[in-house]
Structure formats: structure tokens, C-alpha cells
Amino acid sequence: MDPEDEIEGFRVVVESLKNLGVKYIFGVVGIPVVEIGVAAQQIGIQYVGMRNEQAACYAAQAIGYLTGWPAACLAVSGPGVLHCIAGLANAKENCWPMILIGGSSETRQEGVGAFQEWPQIESVRVSTKYCGRPAQVDLIPRQLERAVRTSVYGRPGPCYIDLPGDMLNMRVKYKDVYFNPLPPPPPKMLPEDRNMMEAIELLKSAKRPLIIIGKGAAYGRAEMELRALTRELNIPVLPTPMGKGVIPDDSDLVISAARSKVLEEADVVLLVGARLNWMLHFGTPPRWSSTVKVIQMDICAEEMHNSIHSSVALQGDIQVTTARLNILKGNFKFSNSSPWWIELRKKCRENGASTHELCMDETVPLNYYAAFNQFSQTIPDSTYIVSEGANTMDIGRTMLKNNLPRHRLDAGTFGTMGVGLGFAIATALYARDNDPGARVLCVEGDSAFGFSGMEIETIARYNLPIVIVIINNSGIYSGFDKELYSELVSDENICIASPPTSLLPGVQYEKMMDMVGMTGVTCSKPQEIKTAVKNALAVNRATIINIMINPMAGRKAQQHEWLTKSKL
């Protein structure tokens, strides 16, 4: 561009995003952001038009998690930005980077009821790490740079930039705009060696040590370092749901099957990129020992000593901290023949046997375990598993293996339903561009699928070969079969009689593929399920496999009542 040429605000936005390394924009266009979408494509930023801003926001944050650099979500003023709040909150709670770019109403009409006028910055502030609005067109790049940088520096999270419609169409001389350069990748800090030595001494003194690996370790790309450290220490490893795969689920070190026991009995826990929130039962009794000593490894100082006081707080980047820890630890190795290892292996075998029983019960309609068992063994390691739902997600997590990091995306810390299709769309694009041949398997409860079901059209439009498996029990938590349901609602006011957890029995979700000129299948028998998943993974096309299971099927009986409390 000639320095004397004029450039519109919306072009400043996309040029700036390009400079800042933003490769994808997910959004829904309308006034005043249509031009941003068009201009983005003109300069080679991939634009993905979604059907709801919420799903677009989920997609953008999945790119942030998978790549360590934010993608953008683009939304129109007022309702568009407000639809993104659930997405922003989900990104914030999961510590995933993304930026939201929201159009807003004309500044000159503020306060007199402009089209879609709303205090957008105030509305999104608590759901973001940073939000800003440039004061004039030439300051757009500065704000965007701050948003991109803030989203990935320190604890990652979402940022918002508000762009009034009049500013987007204003022109300035190209030479008057300073395009802030790409910020370098986040600095990787190390804790002091003194603290690292304390951690090592504590681990050495442990009789029942445990290493918990969270999604912060996956995000921090620390798999090589953690695989080396855990192998050498020979300490049992418990991954959190999205921490799965940092250490392969197939590794002998992973004792997920003895989760309750290790949490209850561990005396020293090295907590790597995971928070002691509800997912880890706050690190407190009765789920944890009251005398447990915790070594926390996290990038975020404010996270230290949360819920319980940690014995050692290692504030630093997981990748470099783990590498340093491995050097400092010398040749200490926890004994394979320790009573702890012997007990844990025994517990894993016992728990494995009770799951096996449920898997083998092939009475149709199937229970969850038997349904998963038809395809869990045949999924290639390279497959990205996206999952949401209640039982579908919880049981699926134990039945579907992850041997590679960042290959599981689910409802996460915030327990958000509706993330699945947005995550799957972003993951399929990521795989297409960075990991060719890897497939996306999106395992959805029927209720969870409903939240963003119309994104099927997006999947078809962009030709993304996502295999959607719906584990259909006709309800939230559980439902009813056709006969029982019609009995329940007959001769009554249906809004009084239909249980709040029920959905219509036997919905043929697979037919949504017909709607976009593709095909889906429904199945309920073991062999049908096996064949359907095998065939779907063999061809490079999107499909829906609607697996009708027993509407009354539930979870395996849990040792403790509180294990299921949050689930119903």
C-alpha cells in the first residue's frame, strides 16, 4: 500500500490481526462487522462463518488451546457480543486464549437508543483478562496487540476488543497507522532451585507419592519433559480429564482406574498444571488425606495455596520447570515393588474387572459401557476426541483412551454443554492444517448435542470430516422409552407431566445429515455400532452415528455418594 493511500478501519483490523499471527476468525457477520470478514479473507486469514456466536467463541478458544496462540471470534453489536459471554467465561475458566472482536453501535448515537446499543465492555469485563476500545482508528493495532499478548502471557485467557461501527468505516492515511509487531512467545520462567530442591526432598520422603497432570501441562506443551520425569521417578500418574494423553493412557504409570484410592491415600502430591477446584475435590477430606503435602507447579502466582496450603509452590512454566526438576532430582526412583505400587495395581485390576462386566452385558438397548466398548478399542491414537454430556462424557472419558496430548477437548472446568460442535469444527480445521490424516470424533450426549446442533450445516459447508457419535438416551442424565413416555404424558398437561430431564424418545438425529446432503446412521445393536464407527472412520466425510441406548442406563455404582452428586 502507498503510504499516502487511505485505509478503512476494518482493513486496519485485519492487517493488524494478520501481523499478530491470528490465522482463523470464527464468527457470525452482520452490521457493522461484515467488512471485517470479507477483508480478512482478502488478505488470507481463514474466515469460518458459524451459526451462533456462542459456538464461534468455543471454536476460537479450541484453536487457542491446540496451538497456544489465539484465534479470533467476530460478533455483531448487542446480542452478538452478548451471545459470546458463555464462550468467554468458558475460555476464562479453562485458561484458554482467544480474542473476541465485537462490533458496537455508532459512537455518535450513544445514549439515544442506537441500533443494538449495549454497554458491551461492562458486560464482558468479568469474563475476560483484558478488554479495550481504541480511541481512534490508528490505535486499533495497539489494542489488538495488547489483547493478543495478554491472552497468552501469564495464565492464558480471553480478551475483548470493542469496535464501533463508525470507526470501522473511517479512513486514515496508511502512513499514520503504526502496526504493532508480533509479540514474542510468552517468556518461560523458572522457580528458584532452592524451591525445586524442597520439592525433590519432599517427593523422596513420600511413601505414597502421586503426580497429577492437568490441562495446563497439555497447554504448556510439556509432554516430552513430563514423560521423561515421570518415567524416571516412577511415581503413579493421575491425569485430569484434559490432562489425559500428556502421559499416554496406555502407560503403566497411569492409574486412572484407581482414582478414588490414590486421591484418598496419597501423602505427597505433585500437582502439575491443575487446580484444586471441584474437579479435584478441592484437595480436602474426605476425598484427600487431611495430612497430604502438595507441591504445586503453576504459571499463576495467584493460584498458589488455593483451597489448601501447599508445602512447596513452584511458580513457573511447566515445560522448563519440569526439565530443570529432572536434572536436579539426580537418580532418585520410586520403587516398583513398594507397597503403594502393589496396592494400586491391585486396585486398578479390580476396578477394571467391574467395568469389564458392564462392557460385556450386551442386552439391547445397551448400557453406556457396552455401547462404548463396541468402538473404544478401534480408534486410532491420532484421533482427537471431543466430548460433552453428563454420563456420555464421564463414562466416555474412562472408556476412550488418549495416548497423545491435547487430543481430548470436553466440557472442562466450567462444565459447559454446547461446546462440542464448536470445538470439533476448530479441531478439524487444526488437523487439516497441521496434522493431516488425524480425525475428529465428537462424542455427544443427545442433550448436549442439541445446544449447537445447527453447526451441522457449518460442518457440511466447510467439508470437515467430523464423526459425530450421539449416545442417545432420550434425555438429560436419563430419559424414557417411547411407551413409558407416552404413558407419562397422556391425558395430562404435558408441561406438568413430562419430566424435566426428558427429551422426545427416539429422536432421529442422524437425519440431520440428510438436511445437508450427507448421510448418517442409527444403530442400537453391538455389531451395528462396531460397523458404523469403523465405516465412518474409514471415509473422509462427516457423519452422525445415532446410538440408541437404554434410556434408563446409568453409571457404574460408585463407592461414594458424592462422586455422583454433581451429576444429579
31 binds ligand ADP (CB under 6 A): no
Q: Which does 240 bind (CB under 5 to 8 A by kind): Mg ion, ligand ADP, none?
A: ligand ADP
Report d(CA 204, CA 195) in Å as an integer. 14
Nearer to Mg ion, 15 or 446 (CB): 446
CB of 500 to Mg ion, least distance (A): 13
The residue with cell 448435542 is 449
Per-residue mark of binding to ligand ADP, 357-396 (x: CB under 6 A): ----------------------------------------
Residues of this chain, 278-297, that bind ligand ADP according to CB under 6 A: 279
* Element holding 11 (H helix, E strand): helix 9-19
Asked if omega into 134 is within 30° of 0 (cis), the reply is no
Nearer to ligand ADP, 304 or 497 (CB): 304
Nearer to ligand ADP, 109 or 403 (CB): 403
**Cβ atoms 443, 536 nearer than 8 A:** no
CB of 310 to ligand ADP, least distance (A): 12
Asked if omega into 164 is within 30° of 0 (cis), the reply is no
Q: What single string gives the DSSP state of each residue in 84-147?
A: THHHHHHHHHHT--EEEEEEE--GGGTTTT-TT---HHHHHGGG-SEEE--SSGGGHHHHHHHH
447 binds Mg ion (CB under 5 A): yes
Nearer to Mg ion, 39 or 417 (CB): 417
Report d(CA 484, CA 504) in Å as an integer. 11
413 binds ligand ADP (CB under 6 A): yes
396 binds Mg ion (CB under 5 A): no
CB of 566 to ligand ADP, least distance (A): 14
298 binds ligand ADP (CB under 6 A): yes
Nearer to ligand ADP, 180 or 277 (CB): 277
Report d(CA 220, CA 89) in Å as an integer. 21
One-letter amino acid at 568 equals L
C-alpha cell belonging to residue 340: 503403594
CB of 303 to ligand ADP, least distance (A): 5
323 binds ligand ADP (CB under 6 A): no
CB of 156 to ligand ADP, least distance (A): 6
C-alpha cell belonging to residue 424: 470439533
The residue with cell 493478543 is 148
Tell me, by CB under 5 A, how many residues bind Mg ion: 4
411 binds ligand ADP (CB under 6 A): no
Please identify which residue in 9, 445, 453, 520 interacts with Mg ion, judged by CB under 5 A. Answer: 445
Q: Which does 445 bind (CB under 5 to 8 A by kind): ligand ADP, Mg ion, none?
A: Mg ion
What is the chain's length?
568
Residues of this chain, 452-511, that bind Mg ion according to CB under 5 A: 473
- C-alpha dihedral sign at 291, 293, 298, 303: positive
Q: Which does 446 bind (CB under 5 to 8 A by kind): Mg ion, ligand ADP, none?
A: Mg ion
Residue 174 neighbours by CB under 8 Å, 6+ apart: 1, 2, 3, 4, 5, 6, 7
DSSP state of 68: S
70 binds ligand ADP (CB under 6 A): no
Task: Report the half-sphere exposure of 241 (CA within 13 A, side-chain side).
Answer: 20
Greatest Cα-to-Cα distance within the chain, rounded to the nearest angstrom: 77
Please identify which residue in 303, 446, 455, 510 interacts with ligand ADP, judged by CB under 6 A. Answer: 303
Q: In this chain, which stretch among 52-60, 116-124, 336-344, 441-449 interacts with Mg ion, using CB under 5 A?
A: 441-449
214 binds ligand ADP (CB under 6 A): yes
Residues that bind ligand ADP (CB under 6 A): 94-95, 155, 214-216, 219-220, 240, 242-243, 273-275, 277, 279, 298-300, 303, 317-318, 413
